[in-house]
Amino acid sequence: MGYKNVFKLIKCSDLIDGTGKRPIKDGAILLDGSKIKSIGKESEVVPPEGAKVELYDYSNYTIMPGMIDCHTHNNGFGDGRLGEELNLLADEILTLQSVRNLRASLFSGVTTIRENGPKNFTLINLKKASDDKLLLTPRMLICGRPLSIIGGHMGYFGSEVTGIDEVKAETRNLIKLGADYIKISATGGSTQTSFPYRHSFNMDELIAITEEAQKFGKLTATHCVSSQGIVNSIQADVDMIIHCMFKEPDGSNKYRPEVVDDLFQKGIYINPTLHVVRSTIWRLLHKKEEIGLTDHEETLLDSRQRDFEIHLKNCTKMIDNGLKLITGSDSSWSSYQSGNTVYETECLNIAGLSNMDSLLSVTKEAAKSLGVYDIVGTLESGKEADLLVLNKNPLDDINNLWDVKDVFLGGMLVNRGSEKSLKSIRQRRPSLN
Ligand SMILES: [Zn+2]
């Protein structure tokens, strides 16, 4: 019998399926359209008789699932500018920048992103354009806009709300507009009118948001740069805590083991965003090398280095406590540019995740945390064929994730442009670091 469609047979040296099992030596994957039909040892993966097959021979390469970045800001520039400055730009400019960022992510091997905070309708419309095949992007999960209190973190993007009625109305509105999940600023942050060491929404408001989201089967994630936000989020049954920094209202650091126990008991995912802190350190170190720093910048560098060390130590404790830490870059926020997701995975590796667990933090576990594990995150039959071809095995060294040869998105080999333009995506590590 004949088959209409052309199958793709992909062969490789080391096949990491992303389930956590050891890689398969001399593996193969058979693709039928956008999906994986079968996967296993080369000898076991046989196309149906009479089928047309296109062969992709990567016999000297490693294959793994496409990366999933649970925390992106596609409007951003990653050049150190504040959210307030970003917000002054026209939506059209932010949309164009978002396209650029989405492409950088995809070309670097990120095949799914979750957007954590854009302005107005920029990402809502961009996702529609991507769905309509006007442009090629990673799979996108969007929040629409982050929910904020008046003057709260990222409130300038368009969703400042007060009281139970307003928070419910805006949650429903975002879902109506196409939000895949609800992002909430549960504490202040870098927004100048906000209070980073204090919680933002009152408990009744926070619960109203999560109840509304849950009613429609939507996940929730809270931005928390201080402890009270984390405590409130646990009580409100939030699915993911972003940043997860343990700061007291006076700005002091106090790791809270009892809170971490609660996070573990409830199975809440943690996206600690280590590299976005390091990205400011790196930006300042570059400047120090090149032209030197002002006194103010030296002080900032010291304080960021301290923040990073403390957060890194806390992440190690959370890993030891059994919490699931997920790769979410926070790019292109602050000085962290899209297409550099691997720096965050590297930070989790430094914090104590094994090479395998680091890899799972940006594939399988990330997919689970975003509610898309049934379609992506591992290479298994029936799932979407989002996969990476790598020059070297990242289980030997997590930094091998940088060395991507090819990217397949939904079974299609992505045209990633010239070697030179690909190289320009990666941010340089400072030599002083
Ligand atoms: Zn963020």
Tens digit of each residue's pLDDT (9 = 90 or more) over 349-358:
999 999 999 9
Ligand 1 centroid–CA 118 distance in Å is 10
What CA–CA distance (Å, rounded) separates 270 from 41? 35
For the segment 311-322, the average pLDDT, to the nearest whole number, is 98
Ligand 1 centroid–CA 147 distance in Å is 13
Ligand 1 centroid–CA 117 distance in Å is 7
pLDDT in the model for residue 245? 98
Q: What is the dihedral of CA 176, 179, 182, 183, to 10 degrees?
A: -130
SS (H, E, C) the chain: CCCCCEEEEEEEEEECCCCCCCCEEEEEEEEECCEEEEEEECCCCCCCCCCEEEEEEEEEEEEEECEEEEEECCCCCCCCCCHHHHHCCCHHHHHHHHHHHHHHHHHHCEEEEEECCCCCCHHHHHHHHHHCCCCCCCEEECCCCCEECCCCCCHHHCCECCHHHHHHHHHHHHHHHCCCEEEEECECCCCCCCCCCCECCCHHHHHHHHHHHHHCCCEEEEEECCHHHHHHHHHCCCCEEEECCCECCCCCECCCHHHHHHHHHHCCEEECCHHHHHHHHHHHHHHHHHCCCCHHHHHHHHHHHHHHHHHHHHHHHHHHCCCCECCCCCECCCCCCCCCCHHHHHHHHHHCCCHHHHHHHCCHHHHHHCCCCCCCCCCCCCCECCEEEECCCCCCCHHHHHCEEEEEECCEECCCCCHHHHHCCCCCCCCCC
Ligand 1 centroid–CA 409 distance in Å is 25
For the segment 131-145, the average pLDDT, to the nearest whole number, is 96
Q: Are 271 and 241 in contact (CB under 8 A)?
A: yes
pLDDT in the model for residue 125? 97
What CA–CA distance (Å, rounded) separates 73 from 119? 10
Ligand 1 centroid–CA 71 distance in Å is 6
Ligand 1 centroid–CA 37 distance in Å is 36
pLDDT in the model for residue 5? 81
What CA–CA distance (Å, rounded) separates 29 from 42? 8
Q: Are 144 and 111 in contact (CB under 8 A)?
A: no
Ligand 1 centroid–CA 190 distance in Å is 10
For the segment 132-148, the average pLDDT, to the nearest whole number, is 97
Residue whose C-alpha is closest to residue 346's, from 361, 367, 331: 361
Ligand 1 centroid–CA 369 distance in Å is 16
Ligand 1 centroid–CA 185 distance in Å is 10
Ligand 1 centroid–CA 21 distance in Å is 32
Ligand 1 centroid–CA 72 distance in Å is 7
What CA–CA distance (Å, rounded) separates 201 from 163? 9
Location of each CATH 3.20.20.140 domain in the chain: 67-366
Ligand 1 centroid–CA 285 distance in Å is 22
Residue 155 burial by Cβ neighbours in a 10 Å radius (0-12, 13-18, 19+): buried
pLDDT digits (tens, 9 = 90+) for 160-213: 999 999 999 999 999 999 999 999 999 999 999 999 999 999 999 999 999 999
Q: Are 239 and 369 in contact (CB under 8 A)?
A: yes
Q: Is the pLDDT of residue 433 over 80?
A: no
For the segment 243-259, the average pLDDT, to the nearest whole number, is 97
Ligand 1 centroid–CA 10 distance in Å is 36
Q: Are 282 and 433 in contact (CB under 8 A)?
A: yes
Q: What are the phi and psi torsion angles at 294 (to 5°)?
A: -75, 170
Ligand 1 centroid–CA 116 distance in Å is 6
Ligand 1 centroid–CA 334 distance in Å is 9
Location of each CATH 2.30.40.10 domain in the chain: 6-65+378-423
Residue whose C-alpha is closest to residue 112's, from 392, 328, 274, 275: 328
CATH of 6-65+378-423, one of 3.30.1360.30, 3.40.50.300, 2.30.40.10, 3.30.2000.10: 2.30.40.10
Ligand 1 centroid–CA 272 distance in Å is 10
What CA–CA distance (Å, rounded) separates 379 from 389? 13
pLDDT digits (tens, 9 = 90+) for 152-162: 999 999 999 99
Confidence of residue 113 (pLDDT cuts 50, 70, 90): very high
Ligand 1 centroid–CA 254 distance in Å is 22
Ligand 1 centroid–CA 242 distance in Å is 8
Ligand 1 centroid–CA 330 distance in Å is 5
Residue whose C-alpha is closest to residue 74's, from 135, 138, 160: 138
Ligand 1 centroid–CA 266 distance in Å is 23
Q: Is the pLDDT of residue 1 over 80?
A: no
Ligand 1 centroid–CA 75 distance in Å is 11
Q: Is the pLDDT of residue 2 over 70?
A: no
Q: Which residues surround ligand 1, an ion (CB under 5 A)?
A: 116, 330
Q: Are 277 and 307 in contact (CB under 8 A)?
A: yes
Ligand 1 centroid–CA 15 distance in Å is 33
Ligand 1 centroid–CA 243 distance in Å is 8
Residue whose C-alpha is closest to residue 271's, from 357, 194, 345: 345
What CA–CA distance (Å, rounded) separates 6 from 1? 14
Ligand 1 centroid–CA 189 distance in Å is 10
pTM over 0.95: yes
CATH number of 67-366: 3.20.20.140
For the segment 328-351, the average pLDDT, to the nearest whole number, is 98
Ligand 1 centroid–CA 79 distance in Å is 15
Ligand 1 centroid–CA 358 distance in Å is 20
Q: Is the pLDDT of residue 3 over 80?
A: no
Ligand 1 centroid–CA 59 distance in Å is 39
Q: How high is the mean pLDDT of the chain?
A: 97
Ligand 1 centroid–CA 274 distance in Å is 11
Ligand 1 centroid–CA 68 distance in Å is 15
Q: Are 223 and 187 in contact (CB under 8 A)?
A: yes
Ligand 1 centroid–CA 22 distance in Å is 33
Distances (CA, A) of 34 to 224, 258, 409, 421: 37, 45, 8, 27
The gap between the terminal CA atoms of the chain, to the nearest Å, is 62
